[in-house]
A = this chain, B = another copy of it.
């Protein structure tokens, strides 16, 4: 069967049981007692996971290449290898108390797509690739999304290789220790990039939809805020003579929420971390530090939120210091690929909805250098980065079928376009 025979290709379906079994088998490496996975980047457990992926990729006839930051690319030849590859992928490193699905699903869904094409003797025009990106989680080494970040030129290879974990081990040495220090980085152009992922949020479940058609990744601005008041005894200090830093902090926490609500539907604002000094029951807090995390789907909104936050801090009644510590630009996904995901879901008879990605993903960096899109499936109660992270086998299968169809469309569409 060739890519041209679209009606026949539209009938192709992945093997949901095989996908599920591969997820469960990979989850054994670093399995935790509570049913989660602890497989930190570039550890011996990560090596075992990578080895398993490569063994599976070779079993289904792929060629495998590892680049200098340890990204793995399993390639299935097309009929026209002059075309740029249609790529999918994600990561297999986890949080210390991570789950079975975050990242792993995107990688193994990619392998399942290739497997399905083999089973049905389908050849695509463009080559297909499944990528395993190094250190997406950032639990052991920062920055997060390291492999895709280097691939997309967000930071340099040398910068990434020089980063060290808490024991002082560098990325360079950790890659060498597990035998995953390859050669070259970036190098190859990508015709289209898809990433299937559990939503890691509650939206699909709340709306009873199976497929999330991801339109964009939210931009992020993170801040460190310090409020200076005057430490004093709670007993002898009347209300009118206080300079209570926590009271101002409370108002800012509420204000961050107001700012987010004022920028619906995609504005988000969170205070997640608070440090109170001296943090004693009968002492009026003299200093409070807190973090602010603002997110929005476009830069104009994010900037308006930034201004509202700074204005609130200026009018807080006590001296407030605001330091911006992180900025990620909002990243829209490629309209034609997003439409293809939506149409694939529709053609498969699956319920779907447009959604944004509030979190970072390798696809966000890939979108800087290639047309990219993401496919979300629900996870139980929206919980991720947790050992109790869970997802339904039928949802994972459905997302994988959407990935299959979207990749086939892209591999067909790209036929006329030489690399």
Contacts and interface: CB of A to CB of B under 8 A. Distances in A.
Given A201-B238, A274-B274, A232 B268 contact: no
Contact of A282 (B250, B267, B293): B293
Contacts of A249: 250, 253
A195 interface: no
Contacts of A383: 232
Given A246-B253, A250-B254, A251-B250, A295 B235 contact: yes
Contact of A202 (B220, B232, B244): B232
A281 B276 contact: no
A274 B357 CA distance: 31
A268 B250 contact: no
Nearest to A355: B236
Copies per complex of this chain: 2
A258 B244 CA distance: 13
Contact of A235 (B236, B273, B360): B360
A285 interface: yes
A281 B273 contact: yes
Nearest to A376: B236
A276 B244 CA distance: 19
Contacts of A202: 232, 236-238, 241
A283 interface: yes
Given A200-B233, A233-B200, A276-B273, A239 B268 contact: yes
A9 B238 CA distance: 37
B203 A236 contact: yes
Contacts of A239: 257, 260-261, 264, 267-269
Interface of A: 199-203, 206, 218, 220, 222, 232-239, 241, 244, 246-247, 249-251, 253-254, 257, 260-261, 264-274, 276, 279-285, 291, 293, 295, 357-360, 382-385
Q: What are the nearest 7 A-B pairs in CB distance?
A: A201-B236, A235-B358, A235-B359, A250-B253, A234-B270, A236-B358, A250-B250
